[in-house]
A and B are shown apart, each in its own frame.
Chain A
Amino acid sequence: MIIPALEYYLVLGAALFIIGLLGVLVRRNLLIVFMSIELILLGANVTFVGFAVALNNMLGQAFVIFSLTVAAAEAAVGLAIIVALSRHRDTLNVDEIDTLKG
């Protein structure tokens, strides 16, 4: 039994996801972009757990463990990249890093 209904949890997850996505899209500071990505993952986690409880399936909760693993790995590597980048470019503003430009 799930209180309140599953839809509320899903909307909460969607809200966190969208806020995180907006953070990625609008912030210039690379650190905050990374935090926004964590928000996206949290939104996904809420959705997983909500479904797991609603559908009586522990797989959803087990999957969150993996999601946490990914989040941790991503944070470690991402922050290392930020450190390396700040040494080279002296900036953390995303829109100033455009060496991919064709």
Chain B
Amino acid sequence: MNSETLLSLIFAYLALACVAFAVLVIMLRNPVQCALALVGVVFHLAGIFILLRAEFLAAAHIIIYAGAIIVLFLFTMMLLNLGVVERARQFHVQAPLAIVVGAILFLEFVVLTGATITVGAQGAHSPAWVAGQGGNVQALGQVLFRDYLLPFEIASVLLTAAVVGAIVLAKQKPRRPRSSSQMGVGEWMAERYEKAKTREQDPAEPR
């Protein structure tokens, strides 16, 4: 067994596992199990990246996906207390139609893969160049921080905006009403109106 066959076998395993876990993600009832299946997908995908000699991205996927995003999912589930298995119907009525369209789309992708889009100009970053930089991480660093520094920094702005947005969206509304001196006039009027309305509905309530 030469190394090429071995690598192909490893790829076959990793790819099949990826697909299998991905199918589990969309098939399982329990969201927690889905999240764990997603972790499986990410781990096997990281293997594929190693196969492609993209070690840094393999590590980054595990750290960011498994370590951050999926943990965030799990946190959210716990926060919303959705750990219990939902008895309700899981799939949408349009599922059969969607599967047909998905299958057609997949077929089209495969056709296109074999036919047209696999050609392209060879870039400058040959394996020899990568080795010359000292490895994948150094090579990626060279590209990212020298040629694409500005987009990288802009990405940080995007992340900052996302953090702020997330906090604003998820922030709890204050339970206790503020004292009237802290309210705007409109708010104060609205509250007075509400109070008056409840009094009207329930005259027994003391003023």
Chain A positions within 8 Å of B, measured between CB atoms, are 1-4, 6-12, 14-23, 25-29, 31-32, 34-36, 38-39, 42, 45-46, 49-59, 61-62, 64-66, 68-77, 79-84, 86, 92-95
Contact = CB atoms under 8 A, between A and B. Distances in A.
Given A31-B76, A93-B88, A65 B60 contact: yes
Interface string B161-184: 111011111100000000000000
B44 to A, nearest CB: 10
Interface residues of B, number: 91
26 contacts: A7-B118, A9-B48, A16-B19, A22-B26, A25-B94, A26-B26, A26-B91, A26-B99, A27-B26, A31-B34, A34-B73, A35-B34, A38-B38, A42-B42, A46-B48, A56-B123, A58-B130, A61-B56, A61-B143, A66-B152, A69-B159, A71-B69, A72-B159, A77-B165, A77-B169, A83-B169
Given A19-B19, A31-B34, A31-B76, 9 more contacts: A12-B15, A16-B22, A18-B105, A26-B94, A27-B92, A56-B124, A57-B122, A72-B162, A75-B72
Contacts of A16: 18-19, 22, 41, 45
B99 A22 contact: yes
Contacts of B196: none
Contact of A18 (B49, B106, B114, B147): B106
Interface in B96-125: 98-99, 101-103, 105-106, 109-110, 113-114, 118, 120-125
Nearest to B113: A10
Interface string B1-27: 000100110010001001100110110
A46 B54 CA distance: 11
Interface residues of chain B: helix, strand, loop or mixed (majority): helix
A61 to B, nearest CB: 6
Contacts of B155: 65-66, 69
B190 interface: no
A28 B38 CA distance: 17
Nearest to A28: B92
B73 A31 contact: yes
A3 B49 CA distance: 12
Contact of B82 (A3, A31, A39, A75): A31
Interface residues of chain A: helix, strand, loop or mixed (majority): helix
A14 B110 contact: yes
B109 A29 contact: no
Nearest to B95: A26
B122 A55 contact: yes
A68 B162 CA distance: 13
A4 to B, nearest CB: 5
B189 interface: no
